[in-house]
Amino acid sequence: MLSYFCVLYMVKDLFEHLQKFVTPRRLEKFDEVLENRTRYLTVVLEDIYQSQNASAVLRSCDCFGIQDVNVIENKNVFDVNVDVAMGSSKWLNVNKFNSGQDNTLEAIKTLKNQGYRIIATSPHAKDKMIDKLDINCGKIALVFGTELTGISDIVRENADEFVKVPMYGFTESFNISVCAALSLYELTKRIHNSNVNWNLSEEEKKIIKMEWLKRSIKSSDDIIKRFLESNK
């Protein structure tokens, strides 16, 4: 059995080996993007049924530096529209909750155990404007509900706070993808300009970079397999 230190060295060597298969510019881009990635803010999509909307949210998450997207599948299966997502899902961690009947509650419990506040986007008696949300009180899991009915009763009962985006017209609400983009713009702007420790750790950066390398290299599984066999 390999020792812990042998495994660490092997991972380090594999990491360096994989970097040979991408251009220096691509590696620079990885590092540049990772410097602006965050897990202080995460997005939760509850039972979204229009793939265009879900895919547009993924694209916004990538653009605003959100690394993790949590997808709750109750009645509807999450489906990425490649024309809308523009490859954004390749760079994100998409965590799906679809193993049982109470997937929403499972997602909420998981995120709360990870230290997130559950912030639901919904017109609500006790809601506040998105720009009034206190970003200094801990990590934020921003929840968006279905296109027609919004967040579920389970989210309403378990949310820590409610927020909304200001509107001044006749229409009752924004499209979910528009609401997500506006909310993420507001929160990431404020987080970046704050004293909040929103950056990824060095260990998190290495793990994500390794995954990006694997996804960027053609036949990466075969390359890794050959490397591991030659280093037994």
pTM of the model: 0.91
Residue at 216 is within a domain: no
Beta bridge partners of residue 164, listed in sequence order: 129
Q: What pLDDT score does 31 carry?
A: 97
Q: What pLDDT score does 6 carry?
A: 41
Residue at 176 is within a domain: yes
Q: What pLDDT score does 108 carry?
A: 98
Domain that holds residue 130: 36-206
**CATH number of the CATH domain containing 102:** 3.40.1280.10
pLDDT, mean of each 10-residue run, the chain (232 residues): 44 88 96 98 92 90 97 86 75 93 94 98 81 96 88 94 89 87 97 97 95 93 88 74
Residue at 12 is within a domain: no
Q: What pLDDT score does 84 carry?
A: 67
Residue at 181 is within a domain: yes
Q: What pLDDT score does 4 carry?
A: 36
The first and second tokens of residue 40, run together, are 């202080």
Q: What pLDDT score does 2 carry?
A: 44
Look at the alpha carbons of 37, 43, 47, 52 in this order and tell me if their dihedral is positive or negative: negative
For residues 44 and 61, is the Cβ–Cβ distance under 8 A?
no
The first and second tokens of residue 90, run together, are 């390749």
Q: Which residues contact 62 (CB under 8 A, 6 or more apart)?
A: 88, 91, 92
Residue at 49 is within a domain: yes
Residue at 165 is within a domain: yes
Name the 3-class secondary structure at 43. Answer: strand
Distance of alpha carbon 159 from alpha carbon 154, whole angstroms: 8
Residue at 11 is within a domain: no
Q: Which of 106, 43, 53, 105 is nearest to 79 (CA)?
A: 53
Q: Give the chain's domain count.
A: 1
Q: What pLDDT score does 182 carry?
A: 96
Residue at 25 is within a domain: no
Distance of alpha carbon 48 from alpha carbon 74, whole angstroms: 9
Distance of alpha carbon 199 from alpha carbon 59, whole angstroms: 20
Phi-psi region of 5 (alpha: psi -120 to 50; beta: other; left: phi over 0): alpha
Beta strands in the chain (DSSP E): 41-46, 68-72, 93-97, 116-121, 128-129, 139-144, 161-164
For residues 144 and 57, is the Cβ–Cβ distance under 8 A?
yes
